[in-house]
Structure 1
C-alpha cells in the first residue's frame, strides 16, 4: 500500500535553519554492524504488550508491507525531500503485539545498546514505520540495514538505525542522545535540537 500526500511547496516543507540536500549523509555513533548470517538477527517487541514478539528477519519481511513518501530532517542541519520508504508500519507491529493501555512511550533499542525515546502517539502515527528499503534500494549497512525506524516528523536521530527492539513503556526513558544534551522530543519546525531549546 502506498500513502501519498499532496505535496506542500518546498519552502513550507523545510524547517528553520535547514539546508536541502540530494545526498544522503551518513551520521552515527559507534560501529556499523554487518550481518553475515541473517539467522542471527531478530527483532523483539516487548514491555506493555499482550504478546511479546521475537521476529526473525524472514518473519519481519513477511509482515504486511507499506510504502510512504516523506521528508527527513537531521539535527545537524540537512533536510532530504521526497524519500520513499518501504517496510512495516509501526501501528501494524503494535497491533500484532497488542499494546496495553498502560503504554505511554516507546523506547527504540538498537545495536550496541543505543536507544531513543518517543511518545507512543508519535510512534503510532500513520507516517511512522520500520523500513528496510529507501528509494527502491535495500538499506545499506551505513543507513541501518536490515531495519531502521522512520519517524519523519521528528529530527532524524529519533529514527534509530539497526533497530533490534521496540519497548512499549509506561514511563519515559531518555535515550543516548537525549542523555547527552539533545531535546527529549525533537520537533524540527520548533528547532528543538538541544535540551535548552
Structure 2
C-alpha cells in the first residue's frame, strides 16, 4: 500500500504523513510566491552574515515530514553517471576513504544561519579523485533516501569546502539532520546540501531538483539573495 494513499471503508484517505508533507510543501511554495525573507540587498561573502539572515545557536530541524531511518548496515551510496569509475559504497567502504575535519557556516533559506559548525567526513576532492568525472560532466544531481532531489554545477560541488559528512560537533550526524551521510555545500543555501544522500550522478546537462522546480532559485547563492526563481 502506498504511504500517501490508504484505502479505507469509505474510500481513499490521505495518510497523516501525506497531509503533513503536502502542507509543508505548499507552505514553502507560498514563501517563494510571496518572496518571504527577501530584502533586495546583496553583499560580498566577506560580509559573513548574508542579507536577510539571522544568527541562531541551535540547529533547526526542517524536512518534508519524513525522516528516513537508514541503518549503517543498509547504507549504500551510488556515485555514477559521466564518470570513469562508477562506484557503490557501503558504510565500511565510505568510512575507509580518507576522513577530514572541517569548519564552516551554514545558511538556510528560511532565514537562519549558524556559524562555526565542526564536521567530519569525506572531501569532495577525494570523491572526484575516486570516480574521475568525464571532461563533459558539468553538473551533479543528488537523490536522497526520502526521494528528495537537488542539483549543482560541478564547479560548485568541487569547491574545497564541500564534503560528504557523517559527524557534527564530534558526534554522529543524527537522523533528523540527514544522517548517516549528507552533502555539505556551505557556500549555498542549505537545501542544496541533500540529507540522507543515496545517489550522486555526474551529468552532462542540468536537471532541476525538488525545490528548484517549485519556485526556488537554481543557483541559491545566499550573498546574492538567490532564494527564489
Provide the TM-score with structure 2 as the length reference. Answer: 0.78
* Runs of 4+ that moved beyond 2 A: none
Greater C-alpha Rg = 2
Distance 1:169 1:104 in 2: 6
| Partner of residue 118, structure 1 | 152
Deviation at 1:112, TM superposition (A): 2.7
- Unpaired runs of 5+ residues, structure 2, are 1-45
Answering whether residue 67 of structure 2 is matched by residue 32 of structure 1, we say: yes
Question: 2:52 pairs with 17, 22, 29, which one?
Answer: 17
Secondary structure of 1:157's counterpart equals: helix
Shift of 1:51: 1.1
Q: Deviations over 1:71-112 (max 9, x none)?
A: 100000000000011100112111101111011000111113
Match of 1:129 among 163, 169, 173: 163
Q: Answer yes or no: is the 8 Å Cα contact 1:104–1:120 preserved in 2.
A: yes
Count of matched residue pairs: 185
Alpha carbon RMSD of aligned pairs, Å?
1.3
Structure 1 length-normalised TM: 0.91
Aligned to 1:101: 135
Q: 2:182 aligns with which of 148, 151, 168?
A: 148
Corresponding residue number in structure 2 for 1:41: 75
In structure 1, the gaps of 5 or more residues are 1-10
Q: Which residue of 2 aligns with 1:59?
A: 93
